[in-house]
Structure 1
Amino acid sequence: MRTRGLAVEAHDPATESFVAHRNLLFTVAYEMLGSAADAEDVLQETWLRWVKVDLAEVADPRAYLVRITTRQALNRLRTASRRREAYVGPWLPEPLLTAPDVAEDAELAESVSMAMMLVLETLSPTERAVFVLREAFDVGYEEIAAAVGKTPAAVRQIAHRARRHVDARRPRAAVSPGQTRAVMESFRLALETGDLQGLLDVLAPETVLLTDGGGLRKAAVRPIVTADKVARFVAGRLAVRGGTMAFTFTTANGSPALLVHREGELDGVIAISVEDDRITGLYYVRNPEKLTRVASEIPLTRA
């Protein structure tokens, strides 16, 4: 087999363990970093360290691999945090085209949603690692402590602090994929018909629009807030004119989303967060460097 350009033996025990847990390791790294490209790099680094381990000394390969992945992701996250301070405009996670089974796992779908990933961005690197491992993957405190270099008692305190921080910012109630799709359908119809009132009807009064062009494509450099401002911005930039715009349903980050094509070329991905059948958060990723993982499904798992 080949791991990001590195040839490895197909039936080697180390390879078999790594391959068996690869999707889990990618999911851990992605939830910590919000970037599939960075997550892939972390897996490469994890592999290079894993093949040097004496497997006779490893009681639980899954736990050991998660520990290596967490440490590598933490190192990269600290560097990424500094890079994002210089990012042009709002930073959004890299959208992933996900399989239907991700949407069926409510906890996994929430943990990789755009809204939750943005909440995780407000945590410190260590808080994020602890929260992701504990809440999304149910890793024990002692194992998390070994991964992040803290005592179990300190990890418990960090987990409590991070959970309280996230709970204060996460959506108030879970919304089913069917509800999200129905709201997205109303949003798409309003775009396709140029119906400004239809847009206003589907947007919550204090809805927030974030557009991520990364300095490579035109995007709002600050969040746009309130239904009226968001509706006018969206109508001006995305409304269908002369057949130049097309909107296609997909599943991104475990939730219904739209692929946006402009004159036949992929222009971006739109994801939403919904409360009370209205859009409270609208996330439009246009940065072309973040649009490479929407052509084929990415397997994510908590197992």
Structure 2
Amino acid sequence: MFEDLFGDLGFDISGSRQSRSGAARRRGRDLQIAIDISLEEAAQGVERIITVPRYEPCATCSGSGAKPGTKRTVCPQCKGAGKTVVSNGFFQLAQTCSRCGGEGSTIAVACPECHGEGRVKITKKIKVKIPAGVDNGSQLRVRAEGEAGINSRGDLYVVIEVREHGIFQRHNNDIATSVSISLAQAVLGGEVEVPALDGKLRMKIPAGTQCGKTFRLKGKGMPDLHSRDIGDELVRVDIEIPTRLTAQQRQLIEEFARLSSEDLGGRESFTDKFKKSFR
């Protein structure tokens, strides 16, 4: 508890462990970058080359921060410990050395390239393999591709943003879409072409299909990121009711209504009633 309290203030309990601020400087900073992909790319997986601005060890001084031909010297204030101890009654508190910043050594003459930082900022291109099944907000961790530190490099976190699709809506591993069919197809049945993530496919429409009926196409959705399971494609059917009929078409539908014992005595024709039933 004391370590958590004083650690947040830059202190540490003497002799317990290395100061947090010093440890943080020895490990490079983690980086985060966002990239956007299409739904099809999320379904199949894709490789991307991303450009990452970051710090690299200075080539001139090999990361020491000292001018070539000179070297770092032991800090005279902390004697190489990287921290100084402050006594306060019962407690002994260790504070990060203000002179060397917790490094335990100082630079007499700074490197002219990095100005004593031991690192320089560059832009690096990194190939990232995005697995199939990622979703909005998925994070990929690329180890040791963050910023350089004194002892180790941080990690790079790639945040995935899947662009909104013009045809499909994603629901976990399922995808949903809709298709329109004619009145004749709804009544008599048939086949229609429906979009799929990998192109188009044919779907059977049974006779008597109602408006709003949803068909499930097994295994035509998104792959699961953590297993070999694949979601389904859900296809909602909308029926297009003709708004204009030829005289012959109207006559045939009225004949159908008569054979079906439909009462056409009211103001609304059978066609109007039929349209209403699908709204």
For Structure 1 versus Structure 2, the TM-score category normalised by the shorter chain is under 0.3
User: Relative CO higher for 1 or 2, CA cutoff 8 Å, sep ≥ 6?
Assistant: 1
Q: Find the structure with the greater CA-based Rg.
A: 2
Considering fraction of residues, name the structure with more strand.
Answer: 2
Considering fraction of residues, name the structure with more helix.
Answer: 1
If the length of structure 2 is used for normalisation, what is the TM-score? 0.22
